[in-house]
Structure 1
Amino acid sequence: MNIISTGQPTYWPTDKDKIPDIVDFCIFKGIANTNISCSSCWDLSSDHSPILVEITAEIRETTRRCTLHNKRTNWPLFRALTDEAFSVPIALQTKGDIVDAVEYFTTSVQSAAWNSTPINQHKLTEQHIPTNILQKISEKRALRKLWQQNRCPETKKRLNHKIKELKRILNNDRNVGSKRTSRVLIPPLLPTIHSGKQQRK
């Protein structure tokens, strides 16, 4: 099971000594995280703000979180860039100078981190599912839907048989894929050619 929430408080107590708390969340299962989203509803005027959970058939596009570094960050380059940026003398005489210095420090660190961190390119892997497996999955789904409607023991028996058949086909397909991968990674052994006569021990 998975849990989704807005991460924002949903209960706003009238007592000022109490802090807002999260009392609304959604528990789901069997739904991909890319097909479900959650948002807060601010239309009500009570001390409770509900959440809106939206499930879509299409994959939901999410914005990539902005980060300063990752595992491929070039830290020596980051150190060199920050040393060069902080070597510039800055006067701290007035309040405006302090604000400018803080802004310069922040932008210098961000610029050095972004220039020394390459962007991770996420490659989409294409998964090819054989036609016979897709056909078996469709048959299993149809039997499951039929059994949910009539609750017939004969339909349940056919559904169990179809599930076992699908598992057997999937296991065979995985084994074939593993053998194919091992043939590519491990080259066949070449016969050893001995030159000359074997020496007696």
Structure 2
Amino acid sequence: MTWNANGILAKLPTFEVILNSLDIDICLLTETHLTKRNYLNLKDFKVYNAIHPGNTARGGSSLIVKNTIEHFEFAKIESNEIQMTIVQLNSLKQKINIGVAYCSPSFCIKKETFKSLLFESGDRFILGGDFNAKHLDWGSRVTLSRGKELRLAIRELGCNFHSSGNPTYWPTDNNKIPDLVDFFISKKVSSNFISIEDCYDFDSDHSAVILSFSEDIVKKPMKPILTNPSTDWLSFKLELDLKIDLSTSLNTVEELDKASEDFINIVQGSAWSNTKISEGRKVTTNYPEYIMNMVKNKRKARKRWNQSRDPEDKRVLNNLSQKLRREIKSLKENNLKNYLSNLSAEKESNYSLWKATKKLKKTVDHNAPIKKADGTWAKSDKEKAEIFAEHLAEIFKPTSGDSDVNVNDITNTYENSIPLVTRKELAKEIRGLNVKKAPGFDLITAQILNNLPKKAFLFLQLLINAAIKLRYVPSIWKVAEIIMIPN
């Protein structure tokens, strides 16, 4: 976890409770305001401090590690611009450095200084802290000059950044807008092994960010879907035929609501029960036969050398290994050249050039903060959702009774003018649906509707016609997802 404490000693009791309740293994603190006379002493943790060189209660960083984790201090920087501490962990399959850095906003820090900072972190590392550097790429509201310099250093050294895109700095001045300045930088650590989440438990003008690092791939939650290429559509149709009852009464609003909800549940259940659960997209590479033969020859050579330990066998193994690496490198370069040469901005290639460019320039989405009615900021998703709900409740209200228009007159006028839906009309509408469009909250796609058996198709027709007769749209059909767009 990384957190700008803005003075840790005054917040120490609360900090210890939250640190243990969240089961944090390593905590990266910035703006600790510690000096040579004031230090941290935490039970079951080892603390490494980097204080301001002037020995004054400002800036500073602390790296807190559980005693059960095998580690040692790797490096330390205590300059006016940067206070950084790094430790190396030995308990993982591969050694990795963990560091914390606080970059003072009072100095103009250039790319070369940031490169030195990252270089000091080692060959493989995760570095967190308050860099006071804003850039759209990691989810800040704006891009400033220091953010540009840090972004260039990250790119040139082959590093990555990790953030949630949510603000981490919440100014006490209501005229200032929250922004993201606390995040993580890593090198030689794949994003597939990392997950990020925000923590709003601390009483400070900064919120914390928690990074979970696993030796195994961290599986991100997949969006729920009803079907995939493994779906058995024949079994799906047979199951629907067995479960749907065409004699269901649809004479009242209550009956129509229940029947509509039951229909959605039956379609969802039938789709799920006839679809194998996907574990995610598996990336496979089909290498040419000559590459696979070289792999086999190398494997035989290694087995021969393991048994004989003959220097000549070792020489043969080394030659085969080097030749295999050269061939794979050449193959990848040729594939990349072919891929780039076939990129196009035309419709015939499905606009492959723009898709490739967008993928390269993909950034962390900035989640704009929301101000409450009392002037404070909503931080968590729950707080934001409650504000949106209150706002929308004020907008979507029933029509006022002061209108001169008589709703009953309108109803009587159009009572007999809406014809019922025929099978032919319904079939035409379903066939015309775009299969690439996303489904609603019920997850029923155009592909599913096109695979409805005759009995389910007839029941859907009955539901629509019952809605017309009763002049009532079922509640479950009116559920909508509202996307709020920042102004």
What TM-score bracket applies, with the shorter chain setting the length? 0.3 to 0.5
Normalization by structure 1: what TM-score? 0.42
Larger proportion of strand? 2
Larger proportion of helix? 1
